[in-house]
Amino acid sequence: MCRSLSHLFSWKPSMTIRIPRAAAAALAFSLTAAAGLGSTPALAEIPGTAKTEIDHLLAYVSGSGCEFYRNGSWYDSKKGAEHLQMKLDYLSARNLVQAAADFIDKAATQSSMSSLAYKVRCAGGEPVTSAKWLNDELVRFRGVTAGAATPKATNVATTSAAASTVVAKPVSKVN
């Protein structure tokens, strides 16, 4: 009656382990899904004009030589631009940026960790909020690109409709 259970656990080299097809398919699917976990999400497409303006603002930050303040520390302009690019990638992957104003409001105004406002300090001057600094540059850039795209009128007495196509509208200020 006291029979050994060893016969239930013995294995011979001639024996093979068979995995049902459904289990094999589930394993293959889980390995494929796990491989995709570390990959970067695809970035949503930012409209052309917005992309041009955002790319300009990132290059402006990077090449400014100004210091960029976030979370209690000052960083050089290149580190500031890298940080803003990282935030843009995150927001863009979630299709949350459709205009340059979205980029400024959602990525370049304040820390999402501490809620402290980002600041910019150029040549040892007084710090200004990054929102004001970037909005001012965006207005300037739009004026330059609007002037380059539209031939300059030689007649001063233009209609208000024609003049309104050349004048850049300021973006609402964000604190």
pLDDT-derived band at 15 (thresholds 50, 70, 90) equals low
> pTM (2 decimals)?
0.61
Residue-wise pLDDT for 72-95, tens only, equals 999 999 999 999 999 999 999 999
Q: Which residue has the higher pLDDT, 112 or 3?
A: 112
The 10s digit of each residue's pLDDT in 94-151 is 999 999 999 999 999 999 999 999 999 999 899 999 999 999 999 999 999 887 755 4
- Please give the pLDDT value at position 154: 38
| Bigger pLDDT: 45 vs 175 | 45
Per-domain boundaries in the chain: 48-140
More confident residue, 173 or 125: 125
SS (H, E, C) the chain: CCCCCHHHHCCCCCCCCCCCHHHHHHHHHHHHHHHHCCCCCCCCCCCHHHHHHHHHHHHHHHHCCCEEEECCEEECHHHHHHHHHHHHHHHHHCCCCCCHHHHHHHHCCECCCCCCECEEECCCCCCEEHHHHHHHHHHHHHHHHHHHHCCCCCCCCCCHHHHHHHCCCCCCCCC
